[in-house]
Amino acid sequence: MELPFAEAWKIKMVEPIKKSTREEREKWLEEAHNNVFMLESDKVYIDCLTDSGTGAMSDRQWSALMMGDESYAGARSFYELKNTITKITGFKYVIPTHQGRAAENVMFSYLVKPGQIIPGNAHFDTTKGHIESRKAFAIDVTIDEAKNTQLEIPFKGNVSLEKLEKILQENKGNVPFMVLTCTNNTVGGQPVSMKNIRETCELCHKYGVPVNMDSARFVENAYFIKTREEGYADKTIKEICKEMFSHVDSMTMSAKKDGLVNMGGFIATNNEQLYEGCKQFCIPFEGFLTYGGMNGRDMAALAVGLDENTEFDMVETRIKQVEYLAKKLDEYGIPYQRPVGGHALFVDADKVLCNVPKEEFPAQTLTCELYLEAGIRGCEIGYVLADRDPVTRQNRFGGLDLLRLCICRRTYTNNHMDVIAAALKNVYDRRETITRGLEITWEADLMRHFTCQFRRLK
């Protein structure tokens, strides 16, 4: 008999979690203004809000913490981190930052000017926020197929070269760089193929435009290239990562994802001018160049995390768990962005809560329903997150409206996945009876998603 699949690790430490009653959750959600970001984590049973900074470190990472060098300048831990990043990415200049958005802040402070255009395959919200707050424009050039959640294609995160070329042609001299996000979080943790990475970079370079890879989940992207793209099956994850980065000019990294740490980030490049430009902003915003926004011990743990996660067994364990949950949803007929992506399941709320009009935010409503059902916290990636158009101030209803269920790395077991699937099925079974959604009662001007307040309509 063939042996079944099992995790590439065993558990050394556990953290108890608590269930609650529906009555308690009704009260807590009301107090949180129907925004799950506002819930205290003790009031959550299974937390699928994000896979960012929520994973478990390994024994090797915990031991590396003890070896951290906290020197203000020239810390050994910085050089360990820098050498690991250079080994994996091929980039020799490294600027540590406290997280991904800080890397964006440092780099974009140097590169972005008002009125400029920055195309990208579905910029993440902080990326878009950092562009729009500088009065520049983030233009989405993802392939149209990404919007059809039921279409099964292997690289749904890809860039549309036609859309990209049109932007580059019409805005010559006004595009400081392009953002290539791997995997493409916003459309469902969907990967970008090596062919698309290469062709996107060739096209940008033809127009003299550099490409920055938003690399938060670059290892998951490499896993999909290995398992789905012709010619990569026999390459190691590390070889594929190196090739991915060989095409782009720079990277910004949220190490809280594929770096397997709870906090951290960095910028890396081989472009000396870019490095010099970013340095000026690192010192006032983040800290001295050999720690940026990080502790020495955190850099030490990150160096180990990057090395560990770029091994096939580790990333395979993670993707298999996400696939396990997806199979359960298939069994129950619940529609999600197909094929399942790297870090999360994105339930198509428009197709579940068909009776809730888009003006009442179906995905945010479904997020609340799932929490009320079982204390499971997901996250809306939809019309609330899309913010208002900066010019017209209208809600942007053009994209997908999804409930994202993120799977933390090395944190929950497949029994937890079974609970998530069952809770979702219970909501799905009573979907016809949910006819009203939510109304916004308060929102911030930019990135309203995190703090937005809602009223439940009856």
The catalytic position among 43, 130, 328, 449 is: 449
Report the SS3 class of residue 124. Answer: coil
- Output the smallest distance, CB 120 to ligand F0G, in A: 10
Judged on CB neighbours under 10 Å (0-12, 13-18, 19+), 169 is exposed
Supply the minimum distance, in Å, between the C-beta of residue 216 and ligand F0G. 4
- Collect all residues with Cβ–Cβ distance below 8 Å to 24 and sequence separation of at least 6: 43
Structure tokens at 40: 């205290």
Active site residue 429: no
Answer yes or no: 98 catalytic.
no
**Active-site hit among 5, 19, 59, 72:** 72
CA distance 101 to 12: 32
Question: For ligand F0G, which is the closer residue by CB, 265 or 292?
Answer: 265
* Mutual angle of helices 76-89 and 237-247, in 10-degree steps: 90
Pairing of strands 438-442, 453-456: antiparallel
Q: Is 444 a catalytic residue?
A: no
Q: Binding residues for ligand F0G, per CB under 6 A?
A: 50, 52, 99-101, 124, 126-127, 181, 185, 214, 216, 254, 256, 265
Of residues 129 and 428, the one with the C-beta less far from ligand F0G: 129
Alpha-carbon distance 213 to 250, whole Å?
Answer: 6
Q: Are 98 and 294 in contact (CB under 8 A)?
A: yes
CA of 438: how far to CAs of 6, 26, 357, 361, 363, in Å? 41, 15, 10, 6, 10
Least separation, in Å, of the C-beta of 215 and ligand F0G?
A: 8
* Nearer residue to ligand F0G within complex by CB, 77 or 181: 181
> Closest-CB residue for ligand F0G?
100
Q: Is 216 a catalytic residue?
A: yes
Q: Which residues, 6 or more positions from 158, have their beta carbon under 8 angstroms from its beta carbon?
A: 121, 142, 143, 146, 192, 193, 196
Tell me the residue ranges of DSSP E strands in 317-397: 344-348, 376-377, 379-381
Which of 69, 341 has the CB closer to ligand F0G?
341
| Closest-CA residue to 136 (of 159, 111, 160) | 111
Q: Is 144 a catalytic residue?
A: no
- Report the nearest approach of ligand F0G to the CB of residue 442 (Å): 22
For ligand F0G, give the closer residue by CB, 56 or 356: 56
How far apart CA 178 and CA 73 sit, in angstroms, is 33
Q: Looking at beta carbons only, is 265 or 296 nearer to ligand F0G?
A: 265
> Using omega within 30 degrees of 0 as the cis cutoff, is the peptide bond preceding 210 cis?
no
Question: Residue 268: beta bridge partners?
Answer: 94, 251
Spatial distance between the Cα atoms of 362 and 234, rounded to a whole number of angstroms = 43
Q: How far is the CB of 2 from ligand F0G (least distance, A)?
A: 35
Task: Establish whether 214 is a catalytic residue.
Answer: yes
Active-site residue, from 33, 123, 247, 257: 257
Catalytic residue among 214, 249, 298, 348: 214
Q: What is the DSSP annotation of 64-120?
A: HHHT----SSS-HHHHHHHHHHHHHH---EEEEESSHHHHHHHHHHHH--TT-EEEE
Q: Is 137 an active-site residue?
A: no
Of the pair 180, 356, the CB lying nearest ligand F0G is at 180
CB of 256 to ligand F0G, least distance (A): 5
Integer Cα distance of 435 and 432 in angstroms: 7
Q: Which is nearer to ligand F0G, 101 or 360 (CB)?
A: 101
Q: Is the Cα dihedral 190, 191, 195, 198 positive or negative? A: positive
Tokens 């819930």, residue? Answer: 39
Annotated catalytic residues are 72, 124-125, 214, 216, 257, 449
